[in-house]
Chain A
């Protein structure tokens, strides 16, 4: 069994990395230049967080792997991201629905992690939480604007959120590994964040004139490497160059 802290840091890093990669797919294709800018901005923040968490993960593992070795030379089943972040972009409403649900959970998680007994995690969280707070603001604004915009945008936003309800619970799962880490004050108790998440999420969704629809059959498995079909295809693109020239440095 791998070091629990190594596992945990991969979860934190992979969530950021996979979502950043999805946001990169929007480059040059957003509805306006301003939106392109804001998506790039969020992508950059997330990439930076991924680098910090994965570099630390590599150090804890102690096998000489750095953040690039982890990002580019693991297969899909070795990734520890939640299922929500790997979901395809869909249209702009779907992308913003994903961003909103992820960022809100992430803000609460990072806030809790600023008090982690692991000072390195606490430091990364303190930097990242400021960035993610802005992502929550930006994506909430879009959820509201689209939900309460035109008939078409309302329908699209509803469909966007509907794509993701089944992936929300996984973000708040606390398995044995995290329970253990939480008891020593390293990890945050994700379950304790759920009430605040639901309250703030519902407020935004209602302002968007939409409905919260809890899933009757929530999906999970990302933390154990059980992903959907899309992840390996996305990684094939992301990793192609690094894998084609494994001896090269870039």
Chain B
């Protein structure tokens, strides 16, 4: 799954102008990035680049982990064994994505422990989409189709992002995400060809997930102050609005194929632009959810904290055992 960088703070502006950084090094770094070279963990990089990346990659990792919860909500009730296995495999992939991403972020000098503490304290963000509830089985299809669909839009360009470990993690993740999107679409296809109740379930899911999916691309470009710098640094390769438009253009025909109605009265094909025009996103809702006021924001964070706290004794035991083993092999 996916997160866009949503938690931008004006404070970063100061970091970009860090006087302590050697201008020659900065210039050399900018040149390498502009030439589409990969930056590797031991290469010199500006502090602001490092910080922005840690934030972006860890948000992405947190999103993968928190994203397991809304899907896990239906895992025990999946209506066939094959669907249960597909969903479990998908959730397992997401845990795996979370793991590669935490590892990629760790190469920048921040430990997983620190990142997880930041998530649990509410300091770090994750994708707002996971603060919405999964109310029916069709939501599992909608998440695959729309949420993973949006993720792909954003992640495909990130395979060419300037930071090597992030780009490489993204190559692997993208392959799995396209499988996730297909399974979501396939799940919905089965529903729309099923009983009237199943079709209604699919329509209801699209009705609830459409707008939050568009919000996944983050604030509009004119309210995204760091976009220019992030694009120059190749941390971001396309703007939020460009990616959102591409998603709408790709997804509307898929909704038509499913025979489902996109819940936007302003949605029309604009011949002149060669794109769909669509209605205004409820930005007040977007910012509320980013702030932590989403419908299930408290529940999601509590579930993660509880899992972590209740597992503390297991992690301590594993460390203690490892220490004992190390001592034993020394003594031997």
Contacts and interface: CB of A to CB of B under 8 A. Distances in A.
Nearest to A234: B76
Contacts of B77: 237-238, 240-241
Interface stretch (A39-47, A180-188, A222-230): A39-47
A24 B308 CA distance: 18
B83 interface: yes
B311 A28 contact: no
A234 B84 CA distance: 15
Contact of A146 (B65, B68, B82, B314): B314
Contact of A41 (B80, B92, B315): B92
B184 interface: no
Given A25-B76, A32-B315, A145-B317, A250 B190 contact: yes
A200 interface: no
A77 B88 CA distance: 27
Interface in B81-108: 81-85, 88-89, 91-92, 95-96, 98-99, 102
Contacts of B96: 37
B295 interface: no
B307 A30 contact: yes
B327 interface: no
A233 to B, nearest CB: 11
Given A28-B69, A30-B307, A44 B85 contact: yes
Nearest to A37: B95
B275 interface: no
Interface residues of B, number: 48
B311 A30 contact: yes
A248 interface: yes
Given A31-B310, A247-B195, A150 B316 contact: yes
A43 B320 CA distance: 28
Interface in A236-250: 237-238, 240-242, 245, 247-250
Contacts of A247: 195
A33 interface: yes
A242 B303 contact: no
A114 interface: no
B197 A248 contact: yes
Interface residues of A, number: 50
A50 B81 contact: yes
Given A44-B88, A238-B77, A149 B195 contact: no
Contacts of A242: 79-80
A237 B77 CA distance: 6
Contacts of A67: 81
Given A31-B311, A145-B317, A249-B194, A72 B79 contact: yes
B137 A241 contact: yes
Contacts of A245: 79, 195, 197-198
Interface in B287-332: 303, 306-308, 310-318, 320-321, 324
B115 to A, nearest CB: 11
Contacts of A146: 314, 317, 321
Interface string B187-198: 100100011011
Nearest to B84: A47
Contacts of A47: 81, 84-85, 88
Nearest to B69: A28
Interface of B: 65, 68-69, 71-72, 75-85, 88-89, 91-92, 95-96, 98-99, 102, 137, 187, 190, 194-195, 197-198, 303, 306-308, 310-318, 320-321, 324
Given A51-B82, A93-B314, A238-B77, 7 more contacts: A24-B76, A27-B91, A30-B307, A32-B311, A34-B99, A72-B80, A153-B317
15 contacts: A24-B72, A29-B310, A31-B312, A33-B98, A33-B99, A33-B102, A35-B311, A37-B95, A92-B311, A146-B321, A150-B313, A241-B77, A242-B80, A249-B190, A250-B79
Interface of A: 17, 21, 24-25, 27-37, 40-41, 43-44, 47-48, 50-51, 54, 67-68, 71-72, 91-93, 144-146, 148-150, 152-153, 156, 237-238, 240-242, 245, 247-250
